Structure 1
Amino acid sequence: MPMTFPRLHGRDDELGRIDRMLAELRTGGGQALVFRGEAGIGKSALLAHAASSADGLFLLRGGGSEGESTLPYAGLHLLLRPVVDHVGDLADTHAETIRRVLAGSDPGGRFAVGAALLELLSLLGRRTPVLVLVDDLHWVDEESRDALSFAARRLAGERVGILAAVREPLRVPAGSVRDVAGMPHHRLSGVDDEAAARILASTELPRHRYAPVIEASRGIPSALLEIGRGGPVGAGPFEADLAALSERARTMLLVAAADDTCDTGTILAAARRLGATLDDLREAEDAGLVMFTDTCFGFSHPLIGPAVYRGATFARRIEAHRALVDVLTVEADADRRGRHLAATTTTSDESVAAELETGVEHARMRGGMAAVADAYERAARLSPAPRDEGRRLTSAARAAADAGQPERARQLADQASALLPDPADATWSAIVRATLAEDDDRPIDAHHTLVGTAKRLAGAAPRDAGRLLVAAAEAAWAADDPDKVTDAAELAETLAVPGADQVRALATAAGGGPAAAVAALRALLEADCAPVDTCTDVAISLRARARSASWWALLGEHDTARAEALELVTEARAHAATGVLPRVLAVLARAQLRLGDLGEAVTTAEEGLATAVSIGQRRGIAEASGVLAVVAGLRGDEQGVARYAADADQSSAEHAAALLDLGAGRLNGVIERLACAVDVGLVGLELVPDLIEAVARAAESGDSVGDDVVDRALANLTTWAAATGSAWGEALAARSAALLGKAEFAAAMAVAGQAGAFEQARTELVHGEWLRRERRPARARAHLRAALSLFERHGATPWAERARTELRAAGERRDSATTAPGADTLTPQERRIAALAADGLSNRDIGARLYLSPRTVGYHLYKAYPKLGVTSRGELAKLELMA
């Protein structure tokens, strides 16, 4: 049955080519084109588009059929009958040739027929542009194809176009492609995933089923529609091939379609139980209906398997599934056996439901979290007891959430809650609904769901109530609402539920002072119940581990956060846990950003954003957009900030705008945006260095901010850095203290590299600015050049421009050397010690900074002086050296 397409998706190139062809043939640019591709790929739909676009053209339509493929000139007979009245206008020789073709008589040589056809088309084209459409060219008889090919090579200057479609590679007449070689060919491939999804949107297929259908269909539009609609599948171009098979060969294909894997051994073993043999498989292979790749057996076209399965009677399908159940006996195939057993079951059956549940782990390893959701949902539908059905539906919802199927997960969770009236059964349902609310960027809704359920459970199930309150506290923290975290802690203590100490630790981490918050967070990370298992009991461990990775970032341990996030990305992909991937990628992107890898952060965040958009996960969109907005702010990209900040979380949007202001020198804007960061706990500490830099630069212009705000900000940052022991934090605290004149820049430079390349460049910049103001331009230029190089590498345009401006103010000349003469001969240790000495530090101070004895420092300076051509510290200060 030919397919109809209300709209062609994924064919913009082909549609454009057709439209250009039609426009050109109207002005004498005659040409021909053959669309090639497998059955159902959309060749006929493109020809239909050409016909519907042929306003003002004279249409000639023809096509081939298998039954007439051996009848000479049958194709031309069909094509030319509508223009028989025009034949008399041809020269006598050509007219006679065409009349003989139409009469079914021998027209003479093929050259004569081709010449007569060309003359007739040219005659028609002189009156009205002509478009010839020929479908199923592979079934057009050889003689007619020769004539069309002859004419197609001679259309230049004519107002005639020939557009044809030919199938490949299944069972087309030998030489058919060679015989139309006179026409240019365009091979059609399957549409991309985005276009495939748009095609499936015209069906009633649930969105969570799109991915496997797209994969199975290979992007073939007709297969997408047939499989997506789920109704009877017409065999279409394969009907005759299937009908010609023996009964046993059709049995072999039915078993293969029922199994829907490429496990040749299992398919053969099951088919043998129904009387089919390897010879029957060979029969199907000879018919071009199946193929083998290595040891993998599959159908040659996506439409064949569904056509075979849905074309069989219900009784025959059950026989095929039972045969597969009988041969799938090893434990590794428990999920497949359960699936086939379910297909043979027509009523509720707890034993079958239990077997499906038993095979869930194998399903996960084989097909990821979507397969787990499928297995649990099948088990739920076969469960006789409502409570078991509700429990399994909840498990299906949990897996669907992880698989990136939020709509399905919500539906399953709603169905489950109606079947679990007993509060003691509601724990997992509440966690799933809260997880979905968080994914939808509604953490306060998640908090309310969890708290409400915990209150109901406290008497009958205190342990579950404690777990829910831990999750509730985490949700409130994610919402930047420390008061609600505290409320959860007080409720846990009032109810005296297990885990109350963890909830209190979360409250301290979310709203306590820096030292207390750090201690609480470390306790949570180091606890035996660390937040994957009995501490939070969040249903999906990958999500809880992602939360832990983000906690490491709050401790300034960005290397640890990055390592854990990278591991989680690998696991999420291995388990096809698409719903978890945006969260994990966001954690990874933030770690990369904090470590100064702006390019990697953008790549990671863009992947997270694309994934979140594809599954409609608002929280993932907000987190990825937040990273991209901050990077755009650092790079001075106002359009990028506006684009991403619109979807970003509020904190990131404000930070991005502040960075944009900081780069542009709009310091008051920075201060207004970030002053509130002083009192927002660990989350706000990463904003403090930007606030302090803005305050310090504003002070140079005579502006000021209340000392209490600035002092409190610096104290919090310094306390946090000391409490965490974070080298990253130490570097930022040292720079901030130096900017406010509370420490030496030499101290900041000694640890600048610990904060990553980008932050090091910022420290080089502010140090260079300070040196220039102190009238030490030579020393300033060395640091400013280093900053400029790093900023340019990261595309941080406003920061690079600021470094250039400072370099010019420091007397930069086009031919200035980048380093002091002889500096390239210094060892790394000699270079660092010489630079610190040039900054005015004594041997004792340098030794304390680098954990060396003063004597060792003196030795290194003794070695460095002759290399640099100096004899004293005073001369060192005039050189351009960098620590």
Structure 2
Amino acid sequence: MGITPATRDPRRRAISELLWGGAVAGKTADLAAAAAEQLIALVDELCQDGPAVLVVDELQWADSTTVAVWSRLARSARQRPLLLIGLLRPVPRRDDLRSLFRIVGPGERLRLRPLAEPAALELVTALAGGKPGVELERLAAGAAGNPLYLTELVDALTRSSCLEVDTAGNVELTGSATPDSLPEAIADRLDFLSEAARTVLRAAALLGDGFSVEDLVTVTNSSLAVLLPALDEARAAGVLVAAGDDLAFRHPLIRQALYDEMPTAVRVAWHQSAAWALAEASAPVERVARQLLPMVSTTDSRVPVPAWAVRWLLDVATPLIGQAPAVAVALLRRAVRDTPLGDAVTGALAGRLADAYYRDGNVAQAERIACRALDHVRDPDVLVDLHTTVALCRGLTGRSAESLAVLGEAVAQPGLEARHRARLLVLIARTHRDLGEFDNAARVATEALTELGAAEDRWATGWALHVLSMVAMTRGEWTEALPLFERAIPIARGDPALVDLTLLLRINQSITFGALDRSDDALAAAGRARELADRMGSLMRLTQVQSALGQLLLAAGRWDDALAEVDVLADERKDPSVVCCDHGVAAIIHFHRGETAAAQRHLDLAAPHAERIGDWVVESLVRARSLAFEHDGAPERALEVLTDVLTGEDAREELLADAVRLAVATGDRAAAEEIEARVREIAAASPVPHRRALGMYCRGLLDGDAAELLRAAEGYRAAGRPLSEATALEAAAVALAEAPDGDRGPARDAFTGAIEPYSGLDAHWDVARLRARFRPFGIRRGPTVKHRQVTQGWDSLTPTEVRIAALVVEGLSNPQIAGRLYLSPRTVGTHISHILTKLGVHSRIDIAREAARHQSTTD
């Protein structure tokens, strides 16, 4: 109880002597019982003199006599000026300790919670002697608010001379991110757990910070019934916490400590065993691969990839590359090294490795490996795979033309089977399409289908139809593209080797539905593509479907949702064309909302990626660049940006509409008539509402025909395109205001009609421009636009964010909210992140608290 022999108080001295083995009245006695009575008497004396405090730490280790004394004191504490404090961990669980809870009421029991982030950083600042820098702050986050681990962390870093205070008073890391002494120190703090629990936790540490119980059962080869007591003990001790349907280490530092205390050789062997067990249990490929990864990352390069793992890699390479290309690169690189030269497997492994490098963004290395393998491989299937990777790499670096000669030689080789020849023809068709040679692309893709004849090859058939659909989409032949998807999707669906093609077809089908004004079908197709990409872990296609959703939502006027979709994943995880498209969508919205700095930031971020894809630039980025010049008061330059890309068969309808508008505004009648002629061809006899509206809009602009422009606005409204509707109404209002009859009534109606959809979009720049333009006509009325000036607090939330916050208050999870609002869980996560930032809070509970506070102030 913290009493030492050296004390001046006679009673305390007597208690101390008893505990150190003295005698009572010269006779042997129950020393602990005697000391307990003396202690109770001492507490009585202290309480007679005034209020007293008695603290017993680590009560879970107390002997039965101490528990009995604490129980007696607790029963009498309410009748005397005594504050009795006992601190104990939830484990080990003891019946005598449980009995204390019957004495101490629920209101008298406190459960210590982790420090909130500000308090944790304040503690680190005090311990380190300065404000933590970025790296120290990141490392401290691993302690998850545990003050003991934060203290151990800073002490270990200090002992290892890893901390340095810079001139600004920030504490930066200068050495190893995790000192060797730290895991040992933290591991020592876990000695309150049973050995069985620690053994299970070491196995769990192999699986990562979070893990599924099913995987733990698999890698330990134990039943859940055997593991349950250890897991319950770890959860009761606060070492493990629930994480959805899985479990996770509450503190990443604990997991790291348990992991690091195992010798490297033991860890590698255990990882290999875990990988084999998970593979045998048909666990998701990325989980198996994560267990193999330490084998190739160990400093001992003599550790070979087991033969079973090489076979497994070949079987699962396609989904693994889609889900985790960097992991696939590491494993395949070691597998290629360990496979005997000339082995039949070598070429296939090299092909998979080249594909993995390509998917991971290392295009140069992918091309080198594929080209080197082409000199040695003879298997036609592997040859086609290698040619595919080379063609993709050259296409991405603007060198598609180099592929045509090589592919031409390959397809001319004698003795090729029809399916191999058809596959090579598909690659040639894709290359022609990348070069903008659409007639050649369609011709060769059709030749590939003819080459197959009665032969069945789902790969060649599906990809040939994909090329034909892409050509149709590029030409704006949306109604012709739709049947191609309906033919191709059933062919590709269900084939593991064609998952990537299935995703592409679904994504392009959603874009086609959107172009045909079938918005519900478009969002449904995109949703199916997103679900498949999520399930298969195909990050590249997931970024593309998110981008497609951003474009659909932009056209539909759901701008806040569009911004959330394009912001879900980081640029470094996207294809350059997707990066350009996403930043283009965001810049368009910010320009229309008058947020010029934000729009320009998106253009700057897109610029290096646009350079990589050469002359072919995505439509949204072109529109955004044109808008930038309009904002700068340079409409001629804005028109030039559009006309530079409106060449050949490329039918970019939004660009055509803007080009006619700018040509008319700048007085370039010849350019306006030339572009309007192209629009007339597109709109002629088209059943698509927005295409008919496009034709009326351009014709109305050219002729100054207000009636035609009003009909265009009605068509755009029917198509669900509010920005285009507002633009047509604005043009109609101008035509009416400038009419010689001077009747301002119809002009005012059109003016008011334009402001309404602009206001619904928060298009403040358009509203301000419109009002300034009509002020000379004496037209000033119109709804007042509420400019979202507020950037913090409840009033700064967008309508979608308000809906999501309400669902958070109901207790719905991100997937449940996503299902309710037809959004992706990642998008919901982005919205919730924005909500937390705007409200200045840290958790979903805080959102509920802020919602209640907001409701109370508005009632």
TM-score by length of 2: 0.56
Alignment correspondent of 1:710 = 672
Asked if 1:601 is matched to 2:529, the reply is no
| Deviation at residue 316 of structure 1 after TM alignment | 5.3
Asked if 1:735 is matched to 2:685, the reply is no
Alignment correspondent of 1:772 = 737
Aligned positions of 1:552-701 closer than 5 A: 560-607=521-568, 611-612=570-571, 614-615=572-573, 617-635=575-593, 638-646=596-604, 647-648=606-607, 649=610, 650=617, 652-660=620-628, 666-676=634-644, 679-698=647-666
| Deviation at residue 521 of structure 1 after TM alignment | 4.0
Q: Which has the higher contact order (CA 8 A, sep 6+)?
A: 1
| Deviation at residue 682 of structure 1 after TM alignment | 3.4
Alignment correspondent of 1:147 = none
| Deviation at residue 465 of structure 1 after TM alignment | 0.7
Which residues of structure 2 form unaligned runs of 5+? 7-56, 59-87, 98-107, 125-130, 158-172, 296-301, 453-459, 611-616, 785-859
Which residue identity lines up with residue 753 of structure 1 in the other structure?
R
Aligned with 1:186 (options 119, 122, 130)? 119
Asked if 1:468 is matched to 2:427, the reply is yes
CA contact (8 A) 2:430 2:441 kept: no
What do residues 801-856 of structure 1 show as CA deviations (whole Å, max 9, x unaligned)?
34324554554476999xxxxxxxxxxxxxxxxxxxxxxxxxxxxxxxxxxxxxxx
User: Bigger CA drift: 429-438 or 681-690?
Assistant: 429-438
| Deviation at residue 230 of structure 1 after TM alignment | 11
Judged with a 3 Å threshold, the aligned counterparts in structure 2 of structure 1 residues 360 and 599 are, in CA distance, closer, same or farther, namely same
User: Bigger CA drift: 318-327 or 687-696?
Assistant: 318-327
User: Bigger CA drift: 501-510 or 761-770?
Assistant: 501-510
Which residue identity lines up with residue 240 of structure 2 in the other structure?
M
CA contact (8 A) 2:187 2:254 kept: no
Which residue identity lines up with residue 579 of structure 2 in the other structure?
I
Q: Bigger radius of gyration, 1 or 2?
A: 1
Distance 1:354 1:178 in 2: 51
Distance 2:757 2:600 in 1: 25
Aligned with 1:444 (options 388, 398, 404)? 398
Which residue identity lines up with residue 456 of structure 1 in the other structure?
A
| Deviation at residue 786 of structure 1 after TM alignment | 1.5
Distance 1:680 1:197 in 2: 54
CA contact (8 A) 1:437 1:445 kept: yes
Which residue identity lines up with residue 754 of structure 1 in the other structure?
A
Judged with a 3 Å threshold, the aligned counterparts in structure 2 of structure 1 residues 567 and 190 are, in CA distance, closer, same or farther, namely farther
SS in 1 for 2:584: helix
What do residues 164-195 of structure 1 show as CA deviations (whole Å, max 9, x unaligned)?
xxxx99999x99x999xxxx99224999xxx9
Alignment correspondent of 1:781 = 748
Aligned with 2:766 (options 799, 817, 836)? 799
| Deviation at residue 467 of structure 1 after TM alignment | 2.6
Judged with a 3 Å threshold, the aligned counterparts in structure 2 of structure 1 residues 271 and 319 are, in CA distance, closer, same or farther, namely farther
CA contact (8 A) 1:630 1:659 kept: yes
Distance 2:350 2:120 in 1: 45
RMSD in angstroms over aligned alpha carbons? Answer: 6.1
CA contact (8 A) 1:342 1:352 kept: no
What do residues 207-249 of structure 1 show as CA deviations (whole Å, max 9, x unaligned)?
xxxxxx9999999997999999899896322343578988766
Asked if 1:456 is matched to 2:414, the reply is no
CA contact (8 A) 2:91 2:233 kept: no
| Deviation at residue 655 of structure 1 after TM alignment | 3.0
Aligned positions of 1:516-531 closer than 5 A: 517=477, 521-522=481-482, 524-528=484-488
Alignment correspondent of 2:388 = 431
SS in 1 for 2:663: helix
Aligned with 1:353 (options 280, 285, 310)? 310
Judged with a 3 Å threshold, the aligned counterparts in structure 2 of structure 1 residues 315 and 752 are, in CA distance, closer, same or farther, namely closer
Alignment correspondent of 1:719 = 681
What do residues 450-505 of structure 1 show as CA deviations (whole Å, max 9, x unaligned)?
763464355243122123123323433xxxxx24x556567779999667986985
| Deviation at residue 540 of structure 1 after TM alignment | 5.6
Asked if 1:757 is matched to 2:722, the reply is yes
What do residues 332-354 of structure 1 show as CA deviations (whole Å, max 9, x unaligned)?
44856798799999655544433
SS in 2 for 1:681: coil
CA contact (8 A) 1:630 1:656 kept: yes
Distance 1:413 1:216 in 2: 43
Alignment correspondent of 1:388 = 345
Which residue identity lines up with residue 724 of structure 2 in the other structure?
E
Judged with a 3 Å threshold, the aligned counterparts in structure 2 of structure 1 residues 233 and 473 are, in CA distance, closer, same or farther, namely farther
Which residue identity lines up with residue 629 of structure 1 in the other structure?
A
User: Bigger CA drift: 369-378 or 422-431?
Assistant: 369-378
| Deviation at residue 765 of structure 1 after TM alignment | 1.4
SS in 1 for 2:424: helix
Distance 1:395 1:196 in 2: 44
User: Bigger CA drift: 421-430 or 499-508?
Assistant: 499-508
Judged with a 3 Å threshold, the aligned counterparts in structure 2 of structure 1 residues 388 and 489 are, in CA distance, closer, same or farther, namely same
Distance 1:808 1:237 in 2: 74
CA contact (8 A) 1:325 1:340 kept: yes
Which residues of structure 1 form unaligned runs of 5+? 1-67, 74-136, 139-167, 204-212, 477-481, 818-883
Which residue identity lines up with residue 568 of structure 1 in the other structure?
A
Distance 1:542 1:430 in 2: 21
SS in 1 for 2:119: strand
Distance 1:805 1:279 in 2: 72
SS in 2 for 1:186: helix
Alignment correspondent of 2:184 = 236
Alignment correspondent of 1:109 = none
TM-score by length of 1: 0.55
SS in 1 for 2:557: coil
Which residue identity lines up with residue 686 of structure 1 in the other structure?
E
Which residue identity lines up with residue 385 of structure 2 in the other structure?
W
Alignment correspondent of 1:406 = 361
User: Bigger CA drift: 428-437 or 593-602?
Assistant: 428-437
Distance 1:289 1:798 in 2: 54
Which residue identity lines up with residue 240 of structure 1 in the other structure?
D
Judged with a 3 Å threshold, the aligned counterparts in structure 2 of structure 1 residues 603 and 392 are, in CA distance, closer, same or farther, namely same
User: Bigger CA drift: 779-788 or 492-501?
Assistant: 492-501
Distance 2:466 2:503 in 1: 20
Distance 1:452 1:429 in 2: 12
CA contact (8 A) 1:349 1:382 kept: no
| Deviation at residue 281 of structure 1 after TM alignment | 3.5
Which residue identity lines up with residue 553 of structure 2 in the other structure?
Q
| Deviation at residue 733 of structure 1 after TM alignment | 1.3
Distance 2:371 2:539 in 1: 24
SS in 2 for 1:293: strand
Distance 1:729 1:666 in 2: 28
| Deviation at residue 784 of structure 1 after TM alignment | 0.6
Aligned positions of 1:105-120 closer than 5 A: none
Alignment correspondent of 2:836 = none
Judged with a 3 Å threshold, the aligned counterparts in structure 2 of structure 1 residues 310 and 725 are, in CA distance, closer, same or farther, namely same
CA contact (8 A) 2:197 2:230 kept: yes
Identity of aligned residues (%): 18
Distance 2:466 2:513 in 1: 18
Judged with a 3 Å threshold, the aligned counterparts in structure 2 of structure 1 residues 265 and 592 are, in CA distance, closer, same or farther, namely closer
